[in-house]
Amino acid sequence: MNIRKSLGLRAAVLALGGAMLLPAVSASAATTYTATDNDTFWKLSKKFNVPLQQLMAANPKIDPLNIYAGLKLTIPTVAKPAAQTGASAAGKVTASSVKTTGGKILSYSKALTVKATAYSASIEENPWGAVDYFGNPLKLGTIAVDPNVIPLGTKVYITGYDFDGLPAGGMIATATDAGSAIKGSRIDIFIPGSREKVSQFGFQYVKLYILK
């Protein structure tokens, strides 16, 4: 189904929902970084290995669509997680893990059944350009979510869909987009290809695992 996204929605999501979604960050456990014109919150989260939500929480007054050269950003310090032991380390499927079609064991914190649609990179669906909420190019593995249900930046594993434009059996995706029609237990999956082909996805109910 075709979903049209807007810049206004993205600003509203940040302004209205951000404070509730993002955890508090201690200012003492952070460093200062001077941004460049090519920086985005998503790129910086990868560069400094900081969860996207925590990075945004440390910079509540920064507009994610207006990061420019010279802007001072706070980079929080993240504690390293304890090493896994026992069955999980051995790659055993547990009650809170799922096995991918490739044999990889993924730990998850929550499993949901959600209604899924799909969108393409067409200008009709993306009047502000074929980019996600953070300005990154749309690619396979991008999904749009309701940030009040699935916080932006969350990694997920999706199974149960039936469409030849997606990996067979299941796929890992990241919630880096939002859409005006994506409310509640809904996701919109980006699929490369023409608008006509992607529209054939229709409505499907899929299983979504929120990964740890």
Number of neighbours of residue 161 by Cβ within 10 angstroms:
20
Query: For residues 26, 30, 33 and 37, what is the CA-based torsion angle, rounded to 10 degrees?
Result: -50
Whether 150 has a pLDDT exceeding 90, the answer reads: yes
Q: Pick from 187, 145, 182: which is nearest to 166 by CA?
A: 187
- Euclidean distance between CA atoms 64 and 79, whole angstroms: 24
With H, G, I as helix, E, B as strand and everything else as coil, classify residue 86. Answer: helix
pLDDT band at residue 121, thresholds of 50, 70 and 90? very high
Higher pLDDT, 5 or 75: 75
pLDDT band at residue 25, thresholds of 50, 70 and 90? very low
pLDDT band at residue 4, thresholds of 50, 70 and 90? very low
Whether 52 has a pLDDT exceeding 50, the answer reads: yes
Whether 20 has a pLDDT exceeding 60, the answer reads: no
Whether 66 has a pLDDT exceeding 90, the answer reads: no
pLDDT for residue 18? 41
With H, G, I as helix, E, B as strand and everything else as coil, classify residue 50. Answer: coil
Contacts of 7 (CB under 8 A, 6+ apart): 65, 128
Query: What residue type is assigned to position 48 of the chain?
Result: F
| pLDDT one-digit tens code per residue, 68-99 | 999 999 999 876 655 544 444 445 656 799 99
pLDDT for residue 211? 94
Counting residues of the chain whose pLDDT is more than 90, the rounded percentage is 57
Helix segments in 7-137, DSSP class H:
7-12, 18-21, 41-47, 52-57, 86-89
| pLDDT one-digit tens code per residue, 153-196 | 999 999 999 999 999 999 999 999 998 889 999 999 999 999 99
The model's pTM:
0.61
